[in-house]
Every structure is written in structure tokens, then in C-alpha cells.
């Protein structure tokens, strides 16, 4: 009888030991699996977030306007809404643009008109409806900020000094301000061009001589 009880006890102990081993193995496997899933989820979030962040920075850089390298021109701009009988005159000899109210001089600044091989047209014109804050001409490899059309509805313009495709001012071209250097348009400093673009109303007469 005692031998039978002893064998039964030994069998029970062996069974409990096997259950314990299986439970321990299951716990380790579950922990390892959870850790792997967590790691994979974390990696997936990082990969997804990083490109989105890079894209946002790239868009911001594309939209930002590079600061011009050269000194700015006139900073004392008149409030043109306070004047009537406005007119714009451009002198190709003096490389000056003047804004008048009747006979009263309101504003004058240095410009660059057309080079000898691509002269700015002479005569009477008006400020046309077309204008914009930036353009780039693939044919010439140049662009500009703050353009306003005065002839040909987008052909002949007032605009800033030339830029590259990224909007960076071209130093060699900027150095020619005050000389006949353009492709026929009237160039001015970016600061002047911004004020002109935001202020000059459509329909004002333009005289180029």
C-alpha cells in the first residue's frame, strides 16, 4: 500500500513540475512576442513621421523669399491714395523712374531699362491689369519678383532685379542697376518693386523717353 502511495506522489510531483516548466516557457514566449510587436510598431511610426517632417521643411524653404544681398533703395514711399492725376515717367538716359501728381514730384528711384540690343519701348503706355509676385522665364534663365505689366499684357514689365529659378538675386545683374541692362523691361530694387506692385493702380499713364 505504501509503495503505491509513494509512486502516486512521485507521479503527481512530476506532473506539477512539467506544468511549471510549461508555464515558465509560455511566459517567456509571450514577453518576447510583445516586445517584438512593440518594437515593430515603434519603428513603423518613426519611418512614417520622418518623411512627413522633411517634406514640410522643404515646402517651407521653397516658399520663403531669399533676402537680397545688395543695399536697398529709397525707403520713403508716398501714400498714393492721397493724390490725384498720377503719372509715371521713365528716363532711359538718366535711368530714373519718377512718379508725379500733376507737376508735383512724389517719388524717384534708380532703374535699369533695356540693353542696346533689347531696348525698352519708348512712348505712351498705361499700367495694365496683369501683375504678380514672381515669374521665371526659362528662355532667358531669369526670373523676378513683383512684376507689373505696362505693354503687351505681360510682355513688358516693371519688376525687381533678376533672380535665378530658386528666387535668389543674381549678383552680376543686380550690380547693373542704373545701367541699360534689361531685356526690355524696367528693373528696380526688390524693395521698390514690392511697393510699386502693391501700390500702383491700374490705368495710370506711363511715359518712357
Active site residues: 159, 185
Give strand ranges (E) for 64-172.
86-91, 96-101, 104-110, 123-126, 131-137, 142-151, 156-160
Strand partners, 136: 143
| Neighbour count for residue 83 (Cβ, 10 Å) | 14
Instruction: Provide CB contacts within 8 A for 205, sequence distance 6+.
Output: 87, 88, 124, 125, 126
**Is 96 in contact with 107 (CB distance < 8 Å)?**
no
How far is the CA of 8 from the CAs of 4, 11, 16, 17, 136, in angstroms?
6, 5, 12, 14, 95
Which cell is 40 given?
515593430
- CA–CA gap between residue 156 and residue 153 (Å, rounded): 8
Q: Of how many residues is the chain composed? A: 209
Amino acid at each position: 500500500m505504501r509503495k503505491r502511495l509513494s509512486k502516486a506522489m512521485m507521479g503527481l510531483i512530476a506532473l506539477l513540475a512539467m506544468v511549471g516548466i510549461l508555464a515558465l516557457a509560455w511566459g517567456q514566449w509571450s514577453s518576447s512576442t510583445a516586445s517584438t510587436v512593440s518594437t515593430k510598431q515603434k519603428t513603423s511610426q518613426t519611418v512614417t513621421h520622418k518623411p512627413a517632417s522633411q517634406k514640410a521643411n522643404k515646402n517651407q524653404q521653397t516658399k520663403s523669399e531669399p533676402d537680397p544681398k545688395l543695399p536697398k533703395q529709397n525707403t520713403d514711399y508716398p501714400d498714393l491714395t492721397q493724390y490725384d492725376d498720377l503719372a509715371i515717367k521713365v528716363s532711359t538716359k538718366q535711368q530714373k523712374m519718377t512718379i508725379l501728381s500733376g507737376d508735383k514730384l512724389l517719388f524717384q528711384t534708380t532703374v535699369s531699362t533695356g540693353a542696346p540690343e533689347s531696348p525698352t519701348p519708348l512712348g505712351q503706355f498705361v499700367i495694365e491689369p496683369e501683375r504678380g509676385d514672381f515669374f521665371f522665364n526659362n528662355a532667358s534663365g531669369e526670373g523676378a519678383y513683383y512684376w507689373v505689366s505696362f505693354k503687351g499684357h505681360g510682355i513688358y514689365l516693371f519688376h525687381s532685379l533678376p533672380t535665378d529659378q530658386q528666387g535668389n538675386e543674381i549678383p552680376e545683374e543686380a550690380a547693373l542697376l542704373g545701367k541699360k541692362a534689361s531685356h526690355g523691361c524696367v528693373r528696380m530694387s526688390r524693395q521698390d518693386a514690392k511697393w510699386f506692385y502693391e501700390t500702383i493702380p491700374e490705368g495710370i499713364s506711363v511715359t518712357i523717353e
